[in-house]
Structure 1
């Protein structure tokens, strides 16, 4: 295993367990102080005061601004963290109407943008990991069955469904571009299906990424009830995602970020669960 923790776990915990860290989306985050040498992955920002970063946008101005912000983050992270290996990034809104500005993405522009970001990473010898995004359920009551939800009325990102997420990495076709699986995000998409077995099958489908999957945002979530429509980031030993999924991810050749921090007691529970899979 190659486990990482969020930077806010702190140096004492990180060194006690021999784990690395993932840096936050803000390079000036207080949690980075004193752990710079332990940071191995860094999460590029996906939004700012102006709203979501739309690297695939049909509006050239919005798109260039967003790409530039991520490129600037890469430069700053490479300068600050001497042992940095990977930059994790989200995709881009496909359709986003929940803010002051309307965002509309184009798939070809997404692929080109990721190639440009990959080139910025490659200048520093960094791998760029493209994360699957979550499904949104804004304004939908927990009691509303999945089949009654108008998905066309929801904001949506590229790279939510497993097939599209996998295809994005293949179409980018750059040696330093890999995939990051966020298991809590995957659960929010699986929740769009009504049957529990369908949801389990969908969760396992993300593993079809194969060797392209090189980074994990390893989170728990609730697959059985509608609680899992939210991006809950549960501890692994408290969720109901398939044990088979967690067992395979334990042995996966990837950096494995436990992307939540609930204290050392919770961490011990997770590590015991992982060991016992």
Structure 2
């Protein structure tokens, strides 16, 4: 009979392996601005035409790609949004900082021009679990972006919140209330697919104003039972599949 700690570690390992299988290890911590490691088909537009590449890592400042064609240092190129991005997403202007043959392929490092990445870059980073508001942090668990409405029970009563993202360890929600850090709340994740709704006890880790009278709350799931952990994994897998559709 496995202990609760062993069961929890098995579930954590499963979820992290599920993440790594789909999008690669989450972060490269060796950089001052960490890059989210990935393997995403992408195209790069040059003066001579489009080059099919694989996006190997991505940050707020640049990207690394792998291909079978060589780029020229200081060449200006356009990094096109991945397939499935919104029609309004624009290519990102880049400068080629370096190019060399690595691991049997040509790799190139790009720096984004203008200092501000296009919205699709921010969205991709968010999907890969890299927080833009705290760029030097490394998350223990990948977070799944969401725009679901949910019920949350505060000391003052129950209110409707919007789930911004959720992970195996907690959630970020938009709320009309602003409880103090350390306060306990009940978050009711709505039913999804064939999975029933899930009630999670949470501790408020951080609370900050988000404009318009609203607040963003960072919540940490507290002491979930084995049943809650298993159901949470099912919810997260559902959210991930929805992003692939």
Q: Which has the bigger relative contact order, CA under 8 A and spacing at least 6?
A: 1
- Of the two, which has the highest radius of gyration? 2
Normalised by the length of structure 2, the TM-score is 0.28
Normalised by the length of structure 1, the TM-score is 0.26
Please identify which structure carries the higher strand content.
2
